[in-house]
Amino acid sequence: MTEPLRLSKRMSELGLCSRREADEWIARGWVRVDGIVVSELGSKVLPSQRISVERQAAAEQSKRVTILINKPVGFVSGQAEDGYQPAVALIKEANRWSEDSSPTLFHPTQLRSLVPAGRLDIDSVGLLVLTQDGRIAKHLIGEETSVDKEYLVRVRYTKGDKLPDSDLRRLNFGLTLDGKKLKPAIVKWQNEDQLSFTLREGKKRQIRRMCDMVGLKVLGLKRVRIGGVKLGNLPEGQWRYLGADEQF
């Protein structure tokens, strides 16, 4: 690869920050290419060139928070819609989990640029990540993400007594959505009416649509894990900070 590409894109590729953060840093004069400050947005670089950032950028990035919330039914993940509140409305001191061990103090400025890194539909509950850190957002929802997500799904079979083993195998690998074959999943019974789904992709209402294709009606859906971070005992409607020792 020898073609020049946008500096902000290259910074994102290198894992330094998100493209939006890169543009902010470039505009503030916090980015150097081969030791020379580059402050013009849209500047291009070669892959062989060395990119560094000023200490101010690293200091600002370290202040950015990542919050884990146990989203209840009736809240949307992102922007408010159709009269429903976004999950970020729950992020206030009164709803912070009393057992959160993080020393971080809550401040309303932490709500700025706090965006969901992945979604849960309005009828689903469980682990939702909200972050100010573009690196985390890219890691969780970028096209190349390898972070798996685990869900517990309560179901009822509508075509007889029991889901055939052949359809369970199709849930693991063999279904197509929106004209594309789904990536392999891990789907297994937890008990007689609950399945565990582990996915590495997140198409819109994917699990509900997968279940519908094999005659399963979803009665409840809860996300319990994203990579190495578990929902654990976090109560519904409450939140905590991502711990310094936790990694997705």
CATH number for the domain that contains residue 41: 3.10.290.10
Task: Tell me the torsion sign for CA atoms 62, 76, 123, 235.
Answer: positive
Q: Which of 121, 148, 212, 245 is catalytic?
A: 121
> Measured between alpha carbons, how far is 189 from 197 in angstroms, rounded to an integer?
9
| 93 within domain boundaries | yes
Report which of residues 231 and 144 the model is more confident about: 231
Q: How many structural domains is the chain composed of?
A: 3
Tracing tokens 């109560």 back to the chain, one arrives at 235
User: Contact, 37 vs 23, CB < 8 A?
Assistant: no
**Residue 121 a catalytic site member:** yes
Kindly tell me if the per-residue pLDDT of 132 is higher than 80.
Answer: yes
Mean pLDDT (the chain, rounded) = 92
pLDDT confidence band for 31 (50 / 70 / 90): very high
Kindly tell me if the per-residue pLDDT of 61 is higher than 80.
Answer: no
How confident is the model at residue 113, as a pLDDT? 82
User: Contact, 162 vs 168, CB < 8 A?
Assistant: no
User: Contact, 200 vs 145, CB < 8 A?
Assistant: yes
Kindly tell me if the per-residue pLDDT of 1 is higher than 70.
Answer: no
Determine the 3-state secondary structure of 69 from DSSP: strand
Domain shared by 161 and 220, yes or no: yes
**Domain region containing 204:** 149-226
Q: Which tens digit of pLDDT belongs to each residue from 140-152?
A: 987 778 899 999 9
| 248 within domain boundaries | no
| 246 within domain boundaries | no
Domain shared by 75 and 124, yes or no: yes
